[in-house]
Every structure is written in C-alpha cells, then in structure tokens.
Chains A and B, each alone.
Chain A
Amino acid sequence: MQATTERENRDILIQANHLRKLFAVKKNFYSHPLYVKAVDDCDFSIRKNTVFGIVGESGSGKTTLGRVILRLIEATGGSVVFDGKNLMSLSSQELRLFRRRMQIISQDPYNSLHPRKVVKKLIGEGLGIHFRLSSQEIDERVKNILTLVGLREEHMYRYPHEFSGGQRQRIAIARALVLKPEFIVLDEPTSALDVSVQAIILKMLKELKRDFALTYMLITHDLAVIDYMADDVAVMYLGQIVELGSKNDIFLRTAHPYACLLIDSVPPPTPSEHWSGKILNGEIPSPIHVPSGCRFHPRCPQAREICKTKEPVLSELQPGHFAKCHFPLNA
C-alpha cells in the first residue's frame, strides 16, 4: 500500500494517506444521515515534476479527490503531506502560505471566471494577495503571463464573455501560473473544448510543465488524454483507487478488470483498428449503498464467490504497480 516507502522520499511532492471524504445526506429532516462515500481510503503519492493522472467514470470521486488534496473541501479522514507538511493539520493562516504553491484549473472555463472582472483583475488578484506588488508590477507580470499562454497584451482589459472557450481556458491557466505554483490540479482541463483546441491546450500544458518544473494532477475521463499527458495513473471506481501504476502498467499490463473494460470501451479513432466492443454492463452503483466485498463485483465478468464477501486490498503486483483485485489479470 505504501507505494513510496522504498522510493526516495525527496522525489515526492504530495503524499496522500488513507484519504476519506464522506458527504452526509438526509432523506428528510428527521432521518439519520446516510453517507455518500465520495473518496474512500485513497493512498497515493505524486512525484515531483510528473503528471499524475486520475481516470474514472462520472461519480467515481475524481473531482472530490482533487479538491480534498488542495483542502478546498475538508477531508473526513486521512492526511495529505505536501512537501513535508501535513496540510490537514495546518491552520487557515498557515494554509494560506501554501495556497500560492498549489493551484487548480477547473473544467468549465465559462463558469470559473468572474463575469464582471476584466482579465487583468482576474489574473492579477492573486498577485496582490500573495506578493503585495505595486500596480505597475502587477501590470507587468500579467502582460508577461498573457503572452506566455498565447494571448495578447490588449486582452488585459476585456471581460471573459469576449473570449472563446479555448481562450478562456488560457486565461484560467495564466491565472494559476502567475503565482508561480509548484503543483496544479487540472480538473478536466479540456473536456469543454473541441479537439483542435484541446490539442493546443494540452501541448501548452506540457511545455509549461517542462519550463516551470511543474507537477500536475490531471483529472479526466478521457483515457487518450491520460495516455498523452500522464506519467503515473490511478484508476478510480466508486471512491476508491482500484489500480495504480505507471502509464505503461495501466495501458499495457492492465491488471484490474474494471480498468481493462474502461480502456476497451474507448472507440479507437481509426477504422483500421478493430474495436473489441467488449461491454461493461450495468451502471456505476450508488455511492451511498456501496456493494459488499469488492465494489466492482456486481459488474465484473471475473467475479467469484470471494469477491462478494471479502474486500480486496490494493496490493503490489510489480514494483510500483498496484491493483485492488483478488484475481488480477496478466498476473
């Protein structure tokens, strides 16, 4: 389970231990609350200057995990160690010092930018808070960052509605980058964009990562984007990490039946390649009443008796390659 104990600890930027987030829901005012297990006992570590990809269906807890890591949502249990400090134990004042170093770029560039602030204000606001710069210095930095993300100086005094989706995502990237962060959570950064624009944004994110020694946590449902961007990948199902490993572990030596079916569901974008068309039956169950034993067993083609009763542990198959399954494939 501790993917990292053997590895060199100084390579690790973020270490999540037994991270849990439960949301209480009440059927009515008098009833006892039930709990949505959005993130349930997740352990992983993110190495410096790499892209850690998280993939799963909607409702698997990807976005919640990204937010819990940044303490944008308070976790129910577990810890997140960022560069040696446990973020969960910091007071809000101490946390503020870390805020600059960890940024998030969210999925929907139409809702994540304040509609009544001009670009200069949107990007420069954080600079004023974290660096206490004069307005000339802020101007200067905003100008620089805009050219860096492929926008122009004259865009500084425009409002978000004057931009296309791709340009808005560039503004969101500029806003995150201007604070010189070390770690950025990319929550579905290109899902709202067309493929040609997606290609530009993904390429740009890759270049920025190289130029500024950034570390990304990339949350997406698009496996092809994961393959293009990520170094390490975690596959999530119903709030848990079911497979964790390097990109090649996940795509070439897939061990968990869910990960395998997820990859097979993607129609290859060339007619010459035959689509296996293997179908994952059913739908993701309710995160309130999770299935007993292995959470995937009701949909799993390989499920046996033990899967219904005993929950498998995330065990190491090869160094760095983990799967949460009693009967891993390719083992």
Chain B
Amino acid sequence: MRRRGDLLDVSNLRVVFDTYTGQVKALNGVELWMNHGERLGVVGETGCGKSVTALSVMRLIEEPGRITEGTILFEDKDLATLSENTLNTVRGKDIAMIFQEPVAALNPVMKVGAQIVENIECQRKSAALARVSDKAEPAADDGSPKKHGHRDTDSVKTMRDMLGHVGLDWQRTENLYPHELSGGMAQRVMIAMALSSRPKLLIADEPTSALDVTIQAQILNLLNSLVRETQTAVLLITHAMGVAAQFCDFIAVMYAGNVVEYGSLQAIFNNPLHPYTKGLLQAVPKIGRTDELQSIPGIVPDLIDPPGGCRFHPRCPHRRPECDKAQPGFEPVGGEAEADRHHVACFLYQRDQ
C-alpha cells in the first residue's frame, strides 16, 4: 500500500478489550496519517476511541485490551509489531505524550524538577542503548532516580531551560511537589517534560479539557509557539471543536471506533460530508450564533454489540439500504483539492456505487 504520511501512517487499526460482558470492539479499522511538523486534531464524542487511538500509537494499551490488526508506521518502523525494548527508544524520545489530568499524570512523591531530570536522563540512556544494539538488555541502572547532588548537571540545565520555555520560574518551581501546582502549572510541567526530549511527535490527549478557558488559552498559546519553533508534529485529541479549529491543520473525525472523515481544517469545517460530522458541527454552541442548535438523534452505540455495516447508520438521516450491510470504505472524495486530503467513510460519496 502507498505510504500516506511520512511521519505517521495508521491503517486498519483494530483494538479490542476483552471484558466479562463481552468483547468491546473499541477501534474498528482506524485510518489516519500525518507528515512531519503537521498538526492533526482527532475529534469525537466520549467513547468514540480518540484516546484509545492515541494510546495505541504509543503501544500503551494494557490488558484486557490488545491490538488485533493493523499497522502503525512511524517513520520507517511499524510500532504495532516492534519489540518492547526497541519501542522504548521511541516512546518518550521520538513520541511524547501529555494528558488530560496533568496533576494525576505526575509522580506525587517526587519534586517536579527531579521528574523532568529523570525523564531527560532516561531518554539519553535509552538513546545510548539503542546505538549499541537493538536487542541489548537494559543496564542494571535503568534510569532510576539518583540522589539530587549526583545528577548529571547537563540534565539539570536542560530541565531549567525547559521550565523557562514553558513560562515557569525554575527557582520557584523545581522543588515543588505536584500537589502544590495549579492545573495550569502542572500542564506546563508536563509540556516541559514531554518536549525535553525534542520529540518528532507530541500526542496531546485532551490537554486543556480540565482547565479554565483563560488557562486553556494560555496553554494553547504556549504549545503553539513551542511546537512552531521546533517543528514538532502534534496529534491533538479533543472534544472541543474550538480548540481543534484554532490549533490544527488537519482533522480526523471519529465515531464509534472509526475515523469517519479526514481532511484539512477547511475541508472539514467548510465542506463537511459525513452526516455525523455535519451533525457534530451543528451541535456546537458558539458565541453570537443565532440559529438553533441541532442535535443528533439517538445515542452512541454499545461497542460490545455494535450495529452492523456503518456504525452510524441507526442515527443517520441519510440512511440507504446498503448502510447496514457493509462497512463503507475510507475513500478520497473526488473533485476536492489534493491538498485537502479529504477522505470520508460513507456510501453517499462512493464513486463506484
């Protein structure tokens, strides 16, 4: 198959969770890709598989979940099949991640400065290991925290620089514990930690959802300037259309475990094609909006027993007879500008049908 994005190309990704009540088919053939330095927003509602997609890219899906099918090409490696050891040279180094609950994501009994230093040293060590051999056993000292005085001064300097970059005063912050930080400060620390290894891809899973709008604006502004400087690609998971619209270049809309529409920001917002995308955009309240909000009838399906065919068909206003029989292919939309990369998974737009 043709390679679509030179940084990340996820194709036909399927993830299931085996639970007592049945198998949750969380991802049902996810397709998305991005080039170096691009910003892709993944939007959708609770339970659509946004976060599972992000975790899969980092191969952080834990029992009872597993990846059953699909490829996750990152540069030249397939992360879906890579060994754990090799994977550790990618995680945190080439791909870093920030989370929705920054205070919960930090170690509560470790000063934030020390946590960042630990991360930096860990990256250096694993990079050095990777150079020696792909399958080398991890050294006895696998990056566990050392006493403060023994720290590599280089790492401490990098940590202080990073804290400065995210707008924190290192003298005040480095000796604080996570519970002493506000949500906004903690997210800045997370960003400092994530970007300290100069990753090629930053995965941000709802980075501002737990924050106030004013702090959200600060964090988005900060992320924007930092990743622009370093040309870092960002995979931004969010349910806030405003955040996606103002931050991203490309958008993937997810519904019940599928990417139903993918394209440039303009393509998705100005010319949405999939009935779900249309519904979602019309449901978003907006300051100064005068028309009535439109809602999508019905509820999100149960992913243990999802509807056959297109998973959106029970709620779709444009349902056709073929919709409940087969899953629509994820195909480019004819007539659109090539740069838009507009793809949609819907029978309404399939050319040969």
Q: Give me the interface of A with B, judged by CB distance under 8 Å.
A: 57-58, 164-166, 194-200, 202-203, 221-225, 227-228, 251, 261-272, 275, 277, 279-281, 283-284
Asked if B326 is an interface residue, CB under 8 A from chain A, the answer is no
- CA A221 – CA B210 in complex, angstroms? 12
Q: Give me the interface of B with A, judged by CB distance under 8 Å.
A: 45-46, 182, 184-185, 212-218, 220-221, 239-243, 245-247, 265-266, 269-270, 279-289, 292-296, 299-300
Q: Which of B242, B282, B285 contacts A228 (CB 8 A)?
A: B285
Q: A58-B212, A263-B287, A267-B220 are in contact. Are A196 and B182 (CB under 8 A)?
A: no
CB pair B285 A202 closer than 8 Å? yes
Q: Which of A194, A221, A227 contacts B289 (CB 8 A)?
A: A227
Q: Which of B239, B246, B285 contacts A194 (CB 8 A)?
A: B239
20 A-B contacts, Cβ less than 8 Å apart? A58-B212, A164-B300, A195-B284, A196-B295, A199-B295, A203-B293, A203-B295, A221-B213, A224-B284, A228-B293, A262-B214, A266-B213, A267-B242, A267-B243, A269-B281, A270-B245, A271-B245, A283-B182, A283-B215, A284-B212
The residue in A225, A227, A263, A270 that gathers the most chain B C-beta atoms within 10 A of its C-beta is: A270
CB pair A277 B217 closer than 8 Å? yes
- CA A222 – CA B286 in complex, angstroms? 10
B235 → A minimal CB distance (Å): 18
- List the A side residues contacting B240 at CB < 8 Å: 267, 269
CB pair A269 B299 closer than 8 Å? no
- CA A64 – CA B48 in complex, angstroms? 34
- CA A270 – CA B284 in complex, angstroms? 10
CB pair B283 A199 closer than 8 Å? yes
- CA A261 – CA B216 in complex, angstroms? 12
- CA A196 – CA B112 in complex, angstroms? 38
CB pair A268 B245 closer than 8 Å? yes
B206 → A minimal CB distance (Å): 13
Q: Which of A195, A202, A223, A267 contacts B217 (CB 8 A)?
A: A267
A186 → B minimal CB distance (Å): 15
A97 → B minimal CB distance (Å): 37
B261 → A minimal CB distance (Å): 15
- List the B side residues contacting A228 at CB < 8 Å: 285, 289, 293
- CA A275 – CA B215 in complex, angstroms? 15
- List the B side residues contacting A164 at CB < 8 Å: 299-300
Q: Which of B182, B242, B287 contacts A227 (CB 8 A)?
A: B287
A to B contact number (C-beta, < 8 Å): 123
- List the B side residues contacting A275 at CB < 8 Å: 246
- List the B side residues contacting A264 at CB < 8 Å: 217
- List the A side residues contacting B296 at CB < 8 Å: 196, 199
- CA A96 – CA B276 in complex, angstroms? 47
- List the A side residues contacting B299 at CB < 8 Å: 164, 166
Q: Which of B185, B285, B292 contacts A224 (CB 8 A)?
A: B285
CB pair B269 A272 closer than 8 Å? yes
- List the A side residues contacting B295 at CB < 8 Å: 196-197, 199-200, 203
Q: A251-B288, A280-B214 are in contact. Are A269 and B239 (CB under 8 A)?
A: no
Extra inter-chain contacts (6) besides given A203-B293, A224-B287, CB under 8 Å: A195-B283, A199-B294, A221-B212, A268-B286, A269-B281, A271-B246
CB pair A227 B280 closer than 8 Å? no
- List the B side residues contacting A196 at CB < 8 Å: 45, 279-280, 283, 295-296
- List the B side residues contacting A58 at CB < 8 Å: 212
Chain A residue, CB-CB nearest to B212? A57
A-B CB proximity, top 9 nearest = A267-B242, A265-B217, A224-B285, A199-B295, A194-B45, A199-B283, A269-B241, A267-B246, A199-B293
- CA A103 – CA B105 in complex, angstroms? 37
- List the B side residues contacting A251 at CB < 8 Å: 287-288
CB pair A195 B182 closer than 8 Å? no
CB pair A227 B214 closer than 8 Å? no
CB pair A279 B287 closer than 8 Å? no
Q: Which of B216, B239, B265, B292 contacts A271 (CB 8 A)?
A: B265
B212 → A minimal CB distance (Å): 4
B303 → A minimal CB distance (Å): 13
CB pair B287 A57 closer than 8 Å? no
CB pair B287 A265 closer than 8 Å? no
- CA A95 – CA B90 in complex, angstroms? 64
CB pair A268 B287 closer than 8 Å? yes
CB pair A265 B280 closer than 8 Å? no
Q: Which of B215, B239, B283, B287 contacts A266 (CB 8 A)?
A: B287
Chain B residue, CB-CB nearest to A166? B299
Q: Which of A227, A265, A270 contacts B213 (CB 8 A)?
A: A265
CB pair A202 B46 closer than 8 Å? no
- CA A222 – CA B216 in complex, angstroms? 12
- List the B side residues contacting A221 at CB < 8 Å: 212-213
